[in-house]
Structure 1
Amino acid sequence: MRRSGFAVRLACANADAFAAAATDTPVAVDAAGCGAILKEYGRLLEHTGSAGAGASLAARARDITELLATAGPRRGAPLGLRVAYDPPCHLLHAQRIADEPEAVLAAVPGIERVHHQDADLCCGSAGSYTFAQPDVSNRVLALKIAALRAAAPDVVVTGNPGCIMQIGAGLRSVGLDIPVVHPVELLDWSYERAGYYERD
């Protein structure tokens, strides 16, 4: 109970800080787990002094792929990579966001999409689950790594830092040197190759 009370106090401070900015612009979130909880602030903080600030922040929070898909991401240069997309649970199941990351990947020409078995299932990270239930977490991870090994991508893309670390560690543990990156990182590689960035 004390731990949840502390979490609520932190959430209130966070909501109040954003409210102090006095703007209604979207809040871009590049971590699916963070986005999932931010979008719950209206409910989580409804009985606190930060209820209004929490509801406002919840309404403004957007996954970065939502914002990019709405804007229509600029096409980059071809990368020539085999890409496996592993949707984070906090994005696909908690936030019900599926099409937007696909729109971001579609802005990267020259990639070959490879699909792995049960891509929509958890990688075993699940926030603190890696530490709280390491045996179960590792068993779930082993299934994910076996599926990715069979798909043989050049790069794995997923939109949550916990998943990036979990899948990356799992791949390295079986001797697979496959980078795991955020969708925006892949887009960045494509933009870099296209020469969109000014350099000194």
Structure 2
Amino acid sequence: PETNAATARVLQQNGCEVMVPRSQVCCGAIHYHSGVEQPAIALARRNMTAFDPDRLDAIIVNAAGCGAMLKEYPHMLPAAEHDQAARFVAKVKDISEFLVALGPVAPEHPVPLKVAYHDACHLCHAQQIRSQPRQLLAMIPGLELVPLEESELCCGAAGTYNLTQPEMSERLGRRKMDHIEATGASVVAAGNVGCILQIARKIKERRSTIEVVHPVDLLDRAYQGKQA
């Protein structure tokens, strides 16, 4: 909820009118990736109705897994619905993708933190969005963005993967956390809630003081003049 609120504030700061349709539902990724296709298709149809692309300039997503799924709707639906799905997908944008294309307002307030950025698989691989989150972080006064080794390596969350393959998920999580700790960063940023939860669990296991956030949370702090 905090990241959703931060996303709305950042969009408003950049001159956008924010609408949150109450009829929106789950993107359907968990269903679809588990082979339960018909419920996923039903959810897709409900979302395309909730977010009418003909009435919106953009459909903003701040969870990489959901964004990747929404962009797959044309491949899920029958041919008769492809035109509607294509119009919908044309408006779907990750928050970082949208802001960089828009030309974001420069934040004024410093956020003096050393930050490592983890590339969520569903952002960098599925959507080919790599530079935009880093561009937003680089705009923040006082923020030092430090390189993270194997930044594009999966953290082990991967949707249902951490449930179906817990041993491999655990190994990936440990490897990711080793790299994060090696940066000396006080904060790690990631553009997907699954990654954030996985990394947060590893941080807790190691009793580390590292904070894990979405990049938009840091941008919001820079706009609002708030610290953690």
Gaps of 5+ in 1: 195-200
User: Corresponding residue for 2:40?
Assistant: 7
Q: Which one of the candidate residues 51, 75, 85 is aligned to 1:18?
A: 51
Shift of 1:78: 1.5
Shift of 1:44: 1.6
Query: Residues 64 and 100 from structure 1, CA distance in 2 versus in 1: closer, same or farther, beyond 3 angstroms?
Result: same
Shift of 1:2: 7.2
User: Corresponding residue for 2:163?
Assistant: 131
CA distance in 2, matches of 1:101, 1:116: 14
User: Corresponding residue for 1:171?
Assistant: 203
Q: Percent identity?
A: 40
User: Corresponding residue for 2:94?
Assistant: 63
TM, length-normalised to structure 2: 0.79
Give 3-state SS (helix, strand or coil) of 2:115's partner. Answer: strand
Query: Residues 170 and 2 from structure 1, CA distance in 2 versus in 1: closer, same or farther, beyond 3 angstroms?
Result: closer
Partners of 1:87 and 1:120 within 8 A in 2: yes
Shift of 1:18: 2.2
> Does residue 51 of structure 1 match 2:95?
no
Partners of 1:42 and 1:56 within 8 A in 2: no
Give 3-state SS (helix, strand or coil) of 1:113's partner. Answer: strand
Shift of 1:107: 1.6
TM, length-normalised to structure 1: 0.89
User: Corresponding residue for 1:188?
Assistant: 220
Query: Residues 2 and 182 from structure 1, CA distance in 2 versus in 1: closer, same or farther, beyond 3 angstroms?
Result: closer
CA distance in 1, matches of 2:173, 2:152: 13
> Does residue 89 of structure 1 match 2:142?
no
Query: Residues 12 and 122 from structure 1, CA distance in 2 versus in 1: closer, same or farther, beyond 3 angstroms?
Result: same
Give 3-state SS (helix, strand or coil) of 1:70's partner. Answer: helix
User: Corresponding residue for 1:197?
Assistant: none
Shift of 1:33: 0.6
RMSD: 1.7
CA distance in 1, matches of 2:49, 2:222: 37
Give 3-state SS (helix, strand or coil) of 2:191's partner. Answer: coil
Gaps of 5+ in 2: 1-33
Code of the residue aligned with 1:85 in structure 2: it is Y
Aligned residues, how many?
Answer: 192
CA distance in 1, matches of 2:111, 2:153: 27
User: Corresponding residue for 2:12?
Assistant: none
User: Corresponding residue for 2:177?
Assistant: 145
Partners of 2:65 and 2:159 within 8 A in 1: yes
